[in-house]
Each structure stands twice: as structure tokens, then as C-alpha cells.
Amino acid sequence: EEAAAERADMDRLEPRFLTHPTLALSQSKDVISSMALKAEESVSSAIAARREYDKDLIKKVLDLEGTLDRYEDKLGNYLSKITAADLDEEQSQEVNKYLRVLSDFERMSDHARNIGESATEINEKKLVFSDIAQKELSILEDAINEVTRLAIDAFINNDTNMALRVDSLEEVIDDLCDLVKTHHVERVSKQECSIEKI
């Protein structure tokens, strides 16, 4: 099913559209939107697997990471070919924007893979989170799911206001990360947590 969806997406990147930049860019946007939804699925699956370990979800995250790598390669190639056409200023800016978001969405899947690998390590080593650490991590994960959803919706809907919300939420997440780390260090120093109990 996933392979068929990927083939259908890639079929949209028709070489004959390259002489019609408006059409080629429209097709590219549709395929990038599909890629973005896969990136969102990857992040949410990784977080779900961290919360309650599930080998199938981990496999899904790893598979999606490979899929998103292929999307980035094929779309990057296609967008580079579009630049050979006679583009106006707006079309050139659109190509540049698409190339930037491609790597952003692919990077999301890399981060999801890292979360999935951490979930596997936590499961294998039977590590246990303290209640407070679990609560803090859940708040952070909820924020990550929200910023991922917002970023992808902002791209798909070309919504500048939503994109601005992504920037402010990203700052909140950075602050949350710092806070979670600080609290963990405090718990370790008070011997409320150890390497084995996070």
C-alpha cells in the first residue's frame, strides 16, 4: 500500500511537465504535501512508540525514514530540472522554498528515527521514567506533535499566519527542552533519578 502510494506520487513528477514550470511546480507541491504528511506520521508514530513500545510502530518509523529519503532525492532532482526552464522571479522563489522544505521534512523523519531508536534502547534496557520525568516528557512530546502538525498544515495550505505560530511554538519547545534537562540534572543530583531511572 505504501509502495503504491509512493509510486503514484512519483508518477506525478512527469518529465514532459518540465517545459511547463507552472504545471511542474503544482505537481511538485502536491508530492511534497504527500511527503509532509508522511513526515508527520513518522513523528507521531515515533512518539507513540516511545510512550508505549511497539515493534510495528518502530518498523513503520524506519520504513518511513527510507521513504522520505527517496522523496527528497526524487523531488530534489525534479526541482533542479525545473530550474533549467525559463522561470520568472516568483517561480524561482517557489523552487527555492520547495528545496528548503524538502530537507526540513526529511530531517523530521531522521529525528523520528532517533526517537524510535531511543524507544528501542529504553525497552531493551528496561529503563523506567520517574513519574515527574514521564509527565515532563509527555508535555514536550505533545508540543512536538503540535508543531509538526502546524508546520505541515502551514505548508500544505500556504498559510503564513500558521507558519508564524510554528516559529513561536518552536521557541517554546526549545525552552521546554532546556527545562526538562535542568530538572533531570536536579533529580540526579538529589539522587531521585539515576542513569537507569530517568
- pLDDT tens track for 22-74: 999 999 999 999 999 999 999 999 999 999 999 999 999 999 999 999 999 99
Compute φ and ψ for 43, nearest 5 degrees.
Answer: -65, -50
Provide the mean pLDDT of the chain.
91
Neighbours of 15 (CB within 10 A): 9
Q: Distance between CA atoms of 112 and 22, rounded to whole angstroms?
A: 33
The most distant pair of C-alpha atoms in the chain lies apart, rounded to whole Å, by 66
Q: Distance between CA atoms of 43 and 173, rounded to whole angstroms?
A: 15
Among 71, 75, 100, which Cα is nearest to 25's? 75
Q: Distance between CA atoms of 49 and 59, rounded to whole angstroms?
A: 10
What number is the average pLDDT over the span 164-168? 81
Cβ contacts of 152 within 8 Å, gap of 6 or more: 36, 37, 39, 40, 105
Q: Distance between CA atoms of 25 and 184, rounded to whole angstroms?
A: 47
Set of cell numbers at residue 20: 511547463
- pLDDT tens track for 131-142: 888 899 999 999
Instruction: Report how far apart, in Å, the C-alpha atoms of 176 and of each of 8, 57, 68, 198 are.
Output: 39, 26, 28, 16
Which pLDDT score, from 0 to 100, does residue 196 have? 54
What angle, 0 to 180 degrees and rounded to 10, lies between the N-to-C axes of helices 160-189 and 131-156? 160
CB 47 within 8 A of CB 115: yes
Which pLDDT score, from 0 to 100, does residue 3 have? 86
